[in-house]
Amino acid sequence: MAIEGGCYCGALRFSADGEPAFKAQCHCRECQYLSGGAPNYLIGMTESGFSYQVGTPKSFQRSDLDAPVTREFCAECGTHLVSKAPGAPGLVFIKVGTLDDPGFFDQPQMAIFTSDKQSFHQIPDGLACFEKSPN
């Protein structure tokens, strides 16, 4: 299966081949900064099946953390497309809003980093929840 997507302005385009490793909503504080306060919806895909078809992203890592996440975004419009976490080698976390067909996501399989969840965040009934990562 192949999914495609890109940034808001079109300067970056990507494709990812393979089956999703997982579909999640992330409540971590970092995702709240990037989403404007909401949980971030993401799909974990293999890094080997992911590639940029158009453009080259800028990347950012916090310098004050021991094992920071790498965040890739468009230098033109600022769209956050992908994260790479040291605790999940070989995976990329694609932001659902960047998919050409966000409906592909359908429903999350889990809610992660619920320890940072805000009172106004909604988690569907019966969804597997993890205070941090589901390692």
Q: How confident is the model at residue 106 (pLDDT cuts 50, 70, 90)?
A: very high
Could you tell me the pTM of the whole model? 0.92
Q: CB-side exposure of 5: number of CA atoms within 13 Å?
A: 27
- Tens digits of residue pLDDT in 50-103: 999 999 999 999 999 898 999 999 999 999 999 999 989 999 999 999 999 999
| Rounded-to-integer distance, Cα 80 and Cα 112, Å | 19
What does pLDDT average to over the chain? 94
Q: What percentage of residues in the chain have a pLDDT greater than 70?
A: 99
Q: Is residue 75 in a domain?
A: yes
Q: Is residue 35 one of the residues assigned to a domain?
A: yes
With b meaning 16 or more CB within 10 Å and e meaning fewer, what string describes 25-59?
bbbbebbbebeeeebbbbbbbeeeebeeeebebee
Number of independent structural domains in the chain: 1
pLDDT at 73: 97
Is residue 59 a part of any domain in this protein?
yes
Domain extent for 36: 2-129
Encoded tokens for 61 = 């890592």
Q: What is the pLDDT of residue 39?
A: 95
CATH number at residue 99: 2.170.150.70
Percentage above 90 pLDDT, the chain: 89
The verdict on residue 135 lying in a domain is: no
Is residue 134 assigned to a domain? no
